[in-house]
Structure 1
Amino acid sequence: MTAIYARQSVDRADSISIEQQIAYCRFEARGDACKTYIDRGCSGKNMNRPRFAQMMSDIRKGEISAVIVYKLDRISRSIVDFANMMEEFAALRVQFISATEKFDTSTPMGKAMLNICIVFAQLERETIQKRVADAYFSRSQKGFYMGGPVPFGFRRVPAVVDGIHTAMYEAVPEEAEQIRLIYALYAEPDVSFGDVIHRLQELGLKKRGKDWERPRIRDILINPIYVRADLKVYNFFLGQGVKPANPPGEFIGVHGCYYYKAQNAGQRKTTVLAGNHLVLAPHTGIVESDLWLKCREKCLGSRQVRPVQKAKNSWLAGKIKCGECGYALLAKEFRNHKDRYLFCSHRLHAKACNGAGTLCTGDMEQLISGEIRKRLSRFETLFPEKQNAPDPELTGLLLERAQLDREISALLEKLQEADSVLLRYINEQVRVLDARKTGLGERIRLLQQKRDMPLSGLRNHLTMWEQLSFADKRRVTDLLIRVIYATEHRVTILWKI
């Protein structure tokens, strides 16, 4: 029996259809019995095609004696694949016929011409690939929408960019609030991806109906699609070796960014930033640049191995380093719960450092807190960093109240169809939910009142240190100090302000 093989990757007006290919091949069969194998929407760059695989299976069973195609590139556009196929045809004594090219594969000249044609078929495929890649890159540099799944926090809407009809993102209010909450939570010292997920679970928040996972949290925190890109964002990416497509003057703190992998890059674009491309997008970002940068830099640092346990023995943990080798000093508390010392982690684990000497944790904390007071004494009054800075607690409460509103609305919609029993149940549930909503409203009011308080400043900041909680001391230290290098004989503090 003769096999007719036809393939079409894309149905276009200027390409020959499957039906036309089969008609040419039937004419070439001269009335012999034929079995047709058709692959629609399949590329010729490899042999991973279902009906082609079925044909090869039938050939190996001895059911096929000849294969007819309309043209060589219908069966393969790869030199290696075509050569292997022809070698198998020869071993199985299967004749190969191209309906339009008329090759006689029984002669050396015919075989040579066959191989030349398949070389040009592969060249055409690679040229098309290059042309498509260049067009994609060119369009991406102009801020056009290039497809792909819509990121959480946005919806896709039609748009016109430079006179070209395309699409852009538009923030979804409820999802955007979740995004801001995720960033605000992760920006806190010692907060991990797992901590963020735990808080989202407590609030009953999901990602479009699915539970949050660590990789998805990280994807959001490193994606510049969410940032209101300003000059600080531009300089951050420039410092990482990324190539911004727009001049710095266009980074005005409004638009999000598209981020593309460098052409011919082999590694993941989130692992190696150098050489990749940053393009301003037409949509408005969700997260302020300072908060986005704080989370992005924290993600960069999280590539290193970090302790599983969070800081509990000293609020200096994570900031204080060995003055000899630069490795972290670990705060250890002994069993009597009185003695606390700082040890060089490099000496403790690898014996590769002479150590920083005897450092009592309490003495070091007292010294650093004194230096912090001296630093703050430069300022007669302290002002909040930003009056509208994200508040994770407030954002979480607002999202929880919105969820209660939805639950109450859903119950009220069922009132018209409810019988007396269901009516009592609905009334009771609405009463419970409304009570919870009232409690939330009072907590939200107090937080908003505190947040919207006039910027009168804090004049007692020098006397408040001992009243601060462990977590608050950690936050203040993180805001003021970049790193501390300490030994028994010297202490060096690198300040942020």
Structure 2
Amino acid sequence: MADELNNIRMIALYCRVSTDEQAREGISLHEQQERLKAYCRAMGWHTEVTIYVDDGYSAKNIERPKLNELIRAVKNGEVSQVMVTKLDRISRKLLDLLNLIDLFQEHNVSFISISESFDTNTPSGRLTLQVLGAVAEFERERIRERVFENMYHAATTGKWLTQSPYGYNLVDKELVFDEKEAEVVKRVFNLYLEKGLGYYAIAKQLNEEGIPSKYKKDWSIRAVKLMLTNPVYKGTFVWNRKDSSKKKRTDKKNDEWIVIDDCLPVIIDKEEWEDAQKRVNAKQIAPRAKTSPHLLGGILKCGKCGASMSIGWSGSKNNRYRVYRCSANKNKGTCTSKQYRANEVEDWFKQGLVQLFEFSTNQTKTTLVEQVLQSQKKDAEQAVQNAKARYKRKVEAYTAGLIELEDLNEEKVKMEKIINNAKRDDDKKEINIERLEKQLQKHIQNILQSLDALSIPDAKAFLQTIIEKVILISEGELEIEFHRI
């Protein structure tokens, strides 16, 4: 019985009057309290009532002492009903009112306004609430439209309305270089692309050197990844990328983004930034494979089944040696590939690189041409798709009156140029074999030099920036596949 009494929730009577309403008839604090009490008696409610009074406070916002106290009581589960004489007693702003009603419903609290016969526990009250919700949704959409227009205009004029990213400072709503931070940005991209370090290794190095982040916090994996994927560093403004309407933020579709190129100060050139995105989006190598003492850990594949070659040790207690073994054979028994001594496989790999460097075969040329043609076709298709999406957004902006016809026509010309270039390149399909061979030889030379000069972990990190995978076909026979040149 005691527990039941403790669980009984009170009825909250909320009364408010501002200074300029004191003399008006029918809305004095005393009048409001008497009408609310009389309503409770008429309904036969004998539950304890608690009166919350805000004397001399406007309804322009919800920052009122007693209203905040009432909200805390609702959140603590102490209230069953909230009553007011009129809706405008609790708020004159529809959005504030609906937010409060949402809070009440979340905690199973009904809301009653006796003048409007509004009770969220009744069908008519819920219908009224739905109508109010539709009006509020319309108002929210209008607010979003205005924000969208302001952000779009700000972007086209080079204005930056949020916090400045690392590498920049904000001066009169414009991004300007922070020279010291900009050098750190360049270094992070260099560590990632040239040295082959991962997010964790970069964050660890920056923290060990005492280099602070933007707001003096330690660097994290997330912070490094966000830097490497932020298009601001190549001079591109991107807005409307995230959907924040739900608790968990998600990416919107590409054609909903507002993307304006070449409107911000550039720290990283476009080619380097795009190279970083290719590595970010590539299949990641397991952390254990990165830190193992095996040079080809993480990139060596079985020539019989295509599975990864796992790394380990074999031999007797006094004669242990490193080995590569097909993981499908080791874990499932589904492959008949044998294990190979790691030192021998790594020697075959180095010999293969030397042969590639010294000799250029017709097969190498054919493979290179096929890879580059496929890469060029994919890039051209993506460029056309992006151009059409940008033009579509400009049409929508023109329809909404945000840009002039001249701007729309200019975007159309750009789109047609990209489409024509893609078609012309597809017709030509000309590949400079000599240039490609030189690039390949440069890659191989860099690898051979790194194998001689660097430690195994550093050499592996560098290796993985250039080589996609190595396929172990049989004794002394390997295939080496490079990342796109």
TM-score calculated relative to the size of structure 2:
0.57
Contact 1:321–1:485 (Cα < 8 Å) also in 2: yes
Q: What residue in structure 1 maps to residue 364 of structure 2?
A: none
Q: What residue in structure 2 maps to residue 179 of structure 1?
A: 185
Amino acid at match of 1:77: L
After superposition, what is the alpha-carbon deviation per residue over 1:107-139, rounded to whole angstroms, capped at 9, x for unaligned? Answer: xxxx77655543332112111112223344455
Amino acid at match of 1:481: I
Structure 1 stretches of 5 or more lacking a match? Answer: 7-17, 44-48, 90-94, 159-166, 229-253, 380-456
Among candidates 264, 268, 290, match of residue 287 of structure 1? 268
Matched, 1:219 2:223: no
User: Distance in 2 between the 1:51 and 1:336 partners?
Assistant: 76
User: Distance in 2 between the 1:313 and 1:59 partners?
Assistant: 59
Q: What residue in structure 1 maps to residue 460 of structure 2?
A: 474
Amino acid at match of 2:259: V
Structure 2 stretches of 5 or more lacking a match? Answer: 1-11, 35-50, 361-440
Structure 1 residues 487 and 322: alpha-carbon distance in aligned structure 2, compared to 1, 3 A threshold: same
Structure 1 residues 215 and 61: alpha-carbon distance in aligned structure 2, compared to 1, 3 A threshold: closer
The structure where helix makes up a greater share of residues is: 2
Contact 2:194–2:462 (Cα < 8 Å) also in 1: no
Matched, 1:331 2:332: no
Contact 2:239–2:258 (Cα < 8 Å) also in 1: yes
Structure 1 residues 27 and 369: alpha-carbon distance in aligned structure 2, compared to 1, 3 A threshold: same
Local SS of the residue matching 2:469: strand
Contact 1:358–1:488 (Cα < 8 Å) also in 2: no
1:223 Cα offset (Å): 2.0
Q: What residue in structure 2 maps to residue 120 of structure 1?
A: 131
Matched, 1:316 2:296: yes
1:337 Cα offset (Å): 6.8
User: Distance in 1 between the 2:174 and 2:23 partners?
Assistant: 45
- The number of residue pairs the alignment matches comes to 354
Structure 1 residues 370 and 312: alpha-carbon distance in aligned structure 2, compared to 1, 3 A threshold: same
RMSD over aligned Cα atoms: 4.8
Amino acid at match of 1:340: R
1:354 Cα offset (Å): 0.9
Structure 1 residues 479 and 296: alpha-carbon distance in aligned structure 2, compared to 1, 3 A threshold: closer
User: Distance in 2 between the 1:209 and 1:202 partners?
Assistant: 14
Contact 1:157–1:169 (Cα < 8 Å) also in 2: yes
Contact 2:236–2:259 (Cα < 8 Å) also in 1: no
Among candidates 466, 485, 497, match of residue 471 of structure 2? 485
1:322 Cα offset (Å): 2.0
Among candidates 71, 74, 82, match of residue 53 of structure 1? 71
Q: What residue in structure 2 maps to residue 452 of structure 1?
A: none
TM-score calculated relative to the size of structure 1:
0.56
Q: What residue in structure 1 maps to residue 164 of structure 2?
A: 150
1:19 Cα offset (Å): 5.1
Moved more, 173-182 or 362-371: 362-371
Matched, 1:209 2:216: yes
User: Distance in 2 between the 1:71 and 1:40 partners?
Assistant: 10
User: Distance in 2 between the 1:263 and 1:315 partners?
Assistant: 44
Among candidates 180, 200, 204, match of residue 198 of structure 1? 204
Alignment map for 1:242-391 (pairs within 5 Å): 254-255=235-236, 257-258=238-239, 260-261=241-242, 268-269=249-250, 277=257, 279-280=259-260, 282-301=263-282, 306-308=286-288, 310-334=290-314, 339-348=321-330, 350-351=331-332, 353-354=334-335, 356-377=337-358
Identity of aligned residues (%): 15
User: Distance in 2 between the 1:179 and 1:291 partners?
Assistant: 12
Structure 1 residues 61 and 104: alpha-carbon distance in aligned structure 2, compared to 1, 3 A threshold: closer
Contact 2:469–2:482 (Cα < 8 Å) also in 1: yes
User: Distance in 2 between the 1:58 and 1:316 partners?
Assistant: 59
